[in-house]
Amino acid sequence: MGERAAYPSDLTDEQWAVIGPFLRAWKTRHPSVSGHQGRYELREIVNAIFYQNRTGCQWAYLPHDLPPKSATYYYFARWRDDGTDQVVHDLLRCQAREKAGRTEDPTAVVLDTQSVRVANNVPAATTGKDAAKKVPGRKRGLAVDALGLVIAVVVTAASVTDNAIGIRLLDRVVAHTPTVTRAWVDAGFKQDMALHGALVGVDVEVVKRADTRPGFVPVRRRWIVEQTLGTLMLHRRLVREYESRPESSVSRTWWASTANLVRRLTGTSTPTWRHR
């Protein structure tokens, strides 16, 4: 940490003790060809990723007392491309489930999608318009467990149907969490998804809204994933699509969820002001 003042998004010593061993193990498995250990500590790299996720700032606007874009993006891209971002997240998720008295892996998931507008730099080829919500941009699909912990993430053009995204989510759930045998979805997911679920061994059930009252009414099962989507929106980098590549947006989601997990595991929260 050095002598710099801490940002609210910084990892505490207790939080780094949770996530640090996994990243140090990764570093041990990936030594530099030249033998150089790197100028910046991995803890500071994660602090920079968390800061950018939480504030939504551009790469060039990372504070000067955090690692620069060149170093931060190097690790962000490496961990995105080799799957380390999800591996670390999933290991922490297993710990969070055990802490809550659950088995490491869930048997059921809840699926939902969210359409997000894009920034000007996002390639048009990776965007589209959500026909139902009339939102131009990209669509983020999530599968979460009964605790609201993220199991799978998919990011596509907003023009892709919920059904198609649901099928992709199911494939990722089965690949990474084969213990899942049931999935709850809303009415936006059609029969094709249920048929695909049957093929991969997951019973897909549509949970419809029974309450006719106007306004927001929590729906059984479905409110869990909606709550997770809302919590992720506290990370401003996810409020609008800034990533040129959908894969980077997926990684941003993993890191935002990881930040939530380390707070859950250590019983801490992120303050809304900077301490000096």
In this prediction the pTM is: 0.91
> Does residue 1 surpass a pLDDT of 50?
no
Q: Does residue 186 lie within any of the structural domains?
A: yes
* Number of C-beta neighbours around residue 126 at 10 A: 18
Q: Does residue 40 lie within any of the structural domains?
A: no
For position 221, which CATH number holds? Answer: 3.30.420.10
User: Residues 16, 75, 169, CA angle at the centre, nearest 5°?
Assistant: 85
Number of domains in the chain: 1
DSSP-derived pairing of the beta strands 108-116 and 182-185:
parallel
> Does residue 216 surpass a pLDDT of 60?
no
Provide the pLDDT for residue 183. 95
Q: At what angle do helices 84-99 and 13-29 cross, to 10 degrees?
A: 140
Assess contact for 90 and 173: CB atoms under 8 A.
no
Domain residue limits at 189: 105-244
Q: Does residue 152 lie within any of the structural domains?
A: yes
pLDDT in tens, 27-53: 999 887 655 566 899 999 999 999 999
Q: Does residue 194 lie within any of the structural domains?
A: yes
Q: Does residue 90 lie within any of the structural domains?
A: no
pLDDT in tens, 142-159: 999 999 999 999 999 999
Q: Does residue 129 lie within any of the structural domains?
A: yes
